[in-house]
Amino acid sequence: MIRHKVLFVCTGNICRSPTAEGVARGLAMQHGLEHLFEFDSAGTHGYHVGDPPDPRTVAAALRRGYDLAPLRARRVTEFDFARFDFVLAMDREHLELLQRACPQSHQNKLGLFLEFGERFDEDEVPDPYYGGAQGFEHVLDLIEDAATGLILKLGAP
């Protein structure tokens, strides 16, 4: 019985949002709560539709036990606002784009993903695309924290 459908959103759906999807799925399984969730990811732009996640993202996630290789980039559609219970942006720019595209009746589903985190003061997941390997590790730290908070908060009876 799926209780919560969560969509993670970044720019091109090849770094941050697929990482969030894969980490959330993996952590839900670790907590025995995978039956309560459906996770997906998408981009605000269609730059990489059909492409796998960035190889650096895949490698960093795999080092922590998350397999992102099967994922493929897609763009957010209007249907997503009706389908998902939560549409979580990686940063404020994504949130603003989502707010402009989202019908008024679904605005309450929008938010920043890191609002579920507890260990870091940051509220935006930085884009690691143009940086080095440490950026991908930092993104994973932020995402693991927020995904844990999300799963434990929403998965609680």
Catalytic residue among 85, 123, 127, 141: 127
Catalytic residue among 16, 54, 74, 145: 16
- Distance, in Å, from the CA atom of 29 to the CA atom of 25, rounded to the nearest integer, reads 6
The answer to whether 10 is a known catalytic residue is yes
Widest distance between CA atoms in the chain:
41
Mind telling me the catalytic residues? 10, 16, 127
